[in-house]
């Protein structure tokens, strides 16, 4: 028998892998097994709040898969909250009914934030918005990147936001530094922030790759440090094409200055063409 520690609960996982949950989770478990064709998915968190990256990291939890950093026992498919049983205890998130009404203190406590947020100490799904009027149901929030988020403190420079390293100023708004994430789009300031090592960091300005050493996997592309290394099948899968192309199934930087093939990274796959490292066209 092993103790698995969750963000808001502790579950006991016996050797037969059946899960005994706290009262809050147990209520969802009863719903999912007693209502015909009304299954509510359950979200599990790995020890120490670690994000999962692939399904086999969720093997301690029966019938789960890794979805955006969380081990999820999937619920039934849905297109709206009304299709989910016992709403609002469960809601339609990522096209399936999930029990997300967990206790929280801040938005980042909630699985799949910023799709979800902490409202009155409970995680709930936040609908998309276009204007601040769409956020009227959520006091103290404003519409940013189509989501109702806690109002930003205005700023001109980082020092206006608080102690160094805790906040930064971006486009006259204060952002909390190093918020947890699994993908770039989860970072509130995206595309001016991106997800590096599971933390949201500001995209830095640059002239050469050496200016981007603060964060691994970033390279200077069009005057900004951009994250590369994403999985790909073709060159056009790469967000920063034609400055990045698919090499060994990963997006890698190309077009570095060169005089001969051997000066190029991946030089067996790239050639020095008109003074730049690139794939040879067939």
User: pLDDT tens digits for 74-108?
Assistant: 999 999 888 888 756 789 999 999 998 888 988 88
User: Do β-strands 147-150 and 141-144 pair in parallel, antiparallel, or remain unpaired?
Assistant: antiparallel
Q: What's the chain's average pLDDT? A: 82
For residues 213 and 93, what is the distance between their CA atoms, to the nearest angstrom? 37
**216-227: b or e for each residue (b if 16 or more CB lie within 10 Å)?**
eebbbbeebbbb
User: pLDDT tens digits for 115-171?
Assistant: 899 998 999 998 889 998 999 988 889 898 888 888 888 999 999 998 888 889 999
**pLDDT attached to residue 282:** 56
User: Taken in order 52, 57, 60, 64, is the CA torsion positive or negative?
Assistant: positive
């Amino acid at each position: 028998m092993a103790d698995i520690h969750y963000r808001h609960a502790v579950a006991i996982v016996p050797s037969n892998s059946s899960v005994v949950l706290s009262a809050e989770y147990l209520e969802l478990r009863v719903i999912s097994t007693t209502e015909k064709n009304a299954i509510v998915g359950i979200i599990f968190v790995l020890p120490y709040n670690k994000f999962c990256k692939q399904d086999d990291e969720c093997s301690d939890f029966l019938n789960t898969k890794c979805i955006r950093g969380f081990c999820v026992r999937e619920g039934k498919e849905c297109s709206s909250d009304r299709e989910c049983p016992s709403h609002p205890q469960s809601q339609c998130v990522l096209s399936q009914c999930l029990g997300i009404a967990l206790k929280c203190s801040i938005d980042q406590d909630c699985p799949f934030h910023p799709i979800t947020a902490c409202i009155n100490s409970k995680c709930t799904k936040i609908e998309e918005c276009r204007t601040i009027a769409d956020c009227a149901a959520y006091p103290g929030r404003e519409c940013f990147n189509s989501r109702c988020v806690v109002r930003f403190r205005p700023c001109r420079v980082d020092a206006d936001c608080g102690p160094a390293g805790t906040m930064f100023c971006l486009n006259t708004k204060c952002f909390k530094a190093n918020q947890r994430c699994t993908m770039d789009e989860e970072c509130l300031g995206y595309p001016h922030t991106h997800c590096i090592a599971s933390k949201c960091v500001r995209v830095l300005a640059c002239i050469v790759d050496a200016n981007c050493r603060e964060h691994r996997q970033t390279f200077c592309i069009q005057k900004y440090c951009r994250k590369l290394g994403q999985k790909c099948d073709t060159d056009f899968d790469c967000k920063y094409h034609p400055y990045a192309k698919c090499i060994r199934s990963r997006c890698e930087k190309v077009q570095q200055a060169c005089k001969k093939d051997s000066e190029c990274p991946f030089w067996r796959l790239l050639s020095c063409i008109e003074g730049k490292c690139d794939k040879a066209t067939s």
